[in-house]
Copies of this chain bind each other. A is one copy, B any other.
């Protein structure tokens, strides 16, 4: 059995810097992806057009076979002028991280308002705002990593009402509440869903730091909501892998003093993994919309070349065992599903 889909696009991926970038950037195409929406959280973060263009050139030097869509990191440095410059230079969007939620604000509630001139310029220039939709934990208010996303959702609603024509993407949704909030918004608001959040629940990362990511995978009912919206074929919910490579020593917890890095790495196995997981809940017929057409339509990124990728289902006895790790130039990264079998392979 084979499935062919038009050039998949991953609308949320971390490609890092330096030697780690050299290891992981070629994994985008290896995983079946033709267009990568690249996160700006480098050290230092990508906060202006010139940095983004330099970074794009670095990625193209590593692997020119992928189209890289670049983003800026929302920070006080960003101005409406810089937004116009970025648009001219082909920058696709601006990413807001949780830290941004509390910058220049005691409560975090009104804090986006300082960015309203920037959002106005983005709306006028048709740039996309990407939201990491979590508020910081605060024990005094019973805010913790399990309800950090639902607590953020009023911000999404406020921003959408203030800028109804601004295209907004709620990134890596993990809760039923988030799915419902995005559905309730108009056609300018969309949502990425990662494959690992379609597979994991809280039980899977308890005591297992390799399955720890932010937002954390939630309860079974939340996973069911994510699966349902994919199965429904809702056109505003599409693939953003949030594939996030970390050196193995930052993912293991050899002592109680370790702080494990949050992130799950899926780039090199992305399309076979997505097919495997969608098949597990009878949604394989929605593969094309989820990985190709829905995201491209929202982002206005046509599949100009007409490229396609074909997956085949492994026959009985055959297996596609995921590599235990990927290594090069002293860098190493362990993929999600390491050592386990996938039912699908890229032809």
> Which A residues have a C-beta under 8 Å from some C-beta of B?
137, 139-147, 201-203, 205-212, 216, 219-221, 223-224, 251-262, 324, 334, 336, 338-339
User: In the complex the two chains form, is B202's CB within 8 Å of A144's CB?
Assistant: yes
User: In the complex the two chains form, is A256's CB within 8 Å of B206's CB?
Assistant: no
Could you list 22 examples of A-B contacts with CB < 8 Å? Answer: A139-B223, A140-B220, A141-B220, A142-B219, A143-B220, A144-B201, A146-B219, A147-B219, A206-B216, A207-B259, A208-B253, A208-B258, A208-B259, A208-B260, A209-B209, A210-B258, A252-B254, A253-B253, A254-B254, A255-B338, A256-B334, A256-B339
Please report the C-alpha to C-alpha distance between residue A140 and residue B281 in the assembled complex, in whole angstroms. 13
A268 to chain B, nearest CB (A): 15
Pick the contact of A203: B145, B201, B254, B338 (CB < 8 A).
Answer: B145
Which residues of B have CB within 8 Å of A258? 208, 210
Which residues of B have CB within 8 Å of A336? 256
User: In the complex the two chains form, is B252's CB within 8 Å of A253's CB?
Assistant: yes
Whether A206 touches B201, Cβ cut-off 8 Å, given contacts A252-B254, A339-B256, is no
Which residues of B have CB within 8 Å of A139? 201, 220, 223
A105 to chain B, nearest CB (A): 21
Please report the C-alpha to C-alpha distance between residue A142 and residue B206 in the assembled complex, in whole angstroms. 16
A267 to chain B, nearest CB (A): 16
User: In the complex the two chains form, is B339's CB within 8 Å of A257's CB?
Assistant: yes
Please report the C-alpha to C-alpha distance between residue A219 and residue B146 in the assembled complex, in whole angstroms. 8
Please report the C-alpha to C-alpha distance between residue A146 and residue B256 in the assembled complex, in whole angstroms. 22
Residue of B nearest to A220 (CB): B139
Q: State the copy count for this chain.
A: 2
Residue of B nearest to A216 (CB): B206
Which residues of B have CB within 8 Å of A202? 144-146
Please report the C-alpha to C-alpha distance between residue A336 and residue B255 in the assembled complex, in whole angstroms. 11
Which residues of B have CB within 8 Å of A144? 201-203, 219-220
User: In the complex the two chains form, is B201's CB within 8 Å of A256's CB?
Assistant: no
A222 to chain B, nearest CB (A): 9
Q: Which 5 residue pairs spanning A and B have beta carbons closest together?
A: A207-B260, A207-B212, A139-B220, A210-B256, A142-B221
Residue of B nearest to A325 (CB): B255
User: In the complex the two chains form, is A211's CB within 8 Å of B256's CB?
Assistant: yes
Please report the C-alpha to C-alpha distance between residue A336 and residue B334 in the assembled complex, in whole angstroms. 29
User: In the complex the two chains form, is B338's CB within 8 Å of A256's CB?
Assistant: yes
A10 to chain B, nearest CB (A): 21
Whether A334 touches B255, Cβ cut-off 8 Å, given contacts A202-B146, A219-B146, is yes
A91 to chain B, nearest CB (A): 32
Interface centre among A206, A211, A254 (most CB of B within 10 A): A206
Which residues of B have CB within 8 Å of A211? 256
Whether A137 touches B203, Cβ cut-off 8 Å, given contacts A146-B146, A208-B209, is yes
Please report the C-alpha to C-alpha distance between residue A218 and residue B267 in the assembled complex, in whole angstroms. 33
